[in-house]
């Protein structure tokens, strides 16, 4: 898969010009996992908010955004992936982002993953800070009043060779240690484990800026596990 055209100067230039015309980015989404010191929930920009902000400017500069769900062939079989492509229509130059969605997901789970990753990918491609809610404090110089009262936490689930739940952990390091057991053959644990790892990565998207290092560690570790499972890391 090519993640960009042979030349990208025109598409990247057009994106930068369009960014200057983006409208203020609204935050209509509510994430109840995190609250500020006032007890108010974390707010984030929905996909509709993002396109309300940027679509007119993208059109003005002949930029098209397309999404596709594809099947990617791996050593273990086929994986569902979502691609987001931004194309400069006059030249055909493009850049794209791709994310693993997992296989054999229930329709509702697959739909939820697609919706989330559409938002996540377009944010990255357009360099949008769509999820961090400053609650007006940074603009007023009050940077400390938005610190969350609790460190982010969740439960981490492992699965046996039949794909059934095997263990639940509240500590990420313990979860990684449990994943270190290697299975010789491709078994039914792979699909739910890949979904769990991708769910963990998606979960970190709502971390507060103060937890950025923690987020990077978790994302990197989960990505390494995904690569190992997919056979992309032979070490």
Which two tokens mark 146?
A: 């938005």
- On the question of pLDDT at 103 being above 70, the answer is no
Between 113 and 93, the more confident residue is 93
- Name, of 37-41, 90-94, 134-138, the range with top average pLDDT: 90-94
pLDDT of residue 11: 96
Q: What angle do CA 88, 94, 98 make, to 5 degrees?
A: 135
CB 92 within 8 A of CB 6: no
Domain limits of the chain?
Answer: 9-125, 156-229
Work out the number of other CB atoms within 10 angstroms of the CB of residue 94.
19
pLDDT of residue 225: 85
In 3D space, the residue among 2, 1, 8 whose CA is nearest the CA of residue 87 turns out to be: 8
Q: What is the pTM of this model?
A: 0.53
- Name, of 76-85, 92-101, 153-162, 198-207, the range with top average pLDDT: 92-101
Q: What's the rounded Cα separation, in Å, for the pair 75 and 94?
A: 28
Q: What's the rounded Cα separation, in Å, for the pair 162 and 111?
A: 24
The stretch 137-154 carries a mean pLDDT of 44
- On the question of pLDDT at 146 being above 70, the answer is no
What percentage of residues in the chain have a pLDDT greater than 70?
A: 74
The stretch 76-93 carries a mean pLDDT of 89
168 beta partners: 157
The pLDDT tens digits for 12-71 are: 999 999 999 999 988 887 766 566 566 677 677 888 889 999 999 999 999 999 999 887
Q: What's the rounded Cα separation, in Å, for the pair 169 and 229?
A: 20
């Amino acid at each position: 898969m090519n993640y960009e055209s042979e030349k990208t100067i025109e598409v990247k230039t057009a994106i930068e010009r369009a960014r200057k015309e983006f409208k203020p980015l609204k935050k209509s989404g509510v994430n109840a996992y995190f609250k500020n010191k006032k007890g108010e929930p974390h707010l984030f920009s929905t996909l509709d908010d993002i396109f309300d902000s940027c679509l007119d400017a993208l059109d003005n500069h002949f930029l098209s955004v397309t999404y596709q769900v594809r099947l990617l062939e791996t050593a273990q079989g086929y994986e569902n992936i979502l691609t987001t492509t931004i194309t400069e229509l006059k030249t055909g130059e493009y850049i794209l982002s791709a994310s693993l969605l997992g296989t054999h997901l229930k329709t509702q789970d697959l739909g939820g993953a697609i919706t989330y990753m559409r938002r996540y990918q377009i944010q990255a491609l357009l360099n949008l800070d769509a999820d961090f809610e400053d609650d007006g404090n940074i603009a007023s110089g009050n940077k400390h009043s938005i610190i969350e009262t609790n460190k982010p936490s969740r439960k981490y689930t492992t699965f046996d060779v039949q794909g059934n739940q095997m263990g639940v952990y509240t500590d990420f390091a313990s979860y990684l240690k449990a994943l270190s057991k290697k299975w010789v053959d491709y078994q039914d644990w792979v699909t739910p484990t890949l979904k769990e790892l991708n769910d963990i990565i998606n979960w970190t998207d709502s971390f507060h800026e103060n937890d950025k290092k923690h987020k990077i560690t978790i994302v990197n570790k989960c990505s390494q596990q995904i690569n190992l499972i997919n056979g992309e890391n032979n070490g």
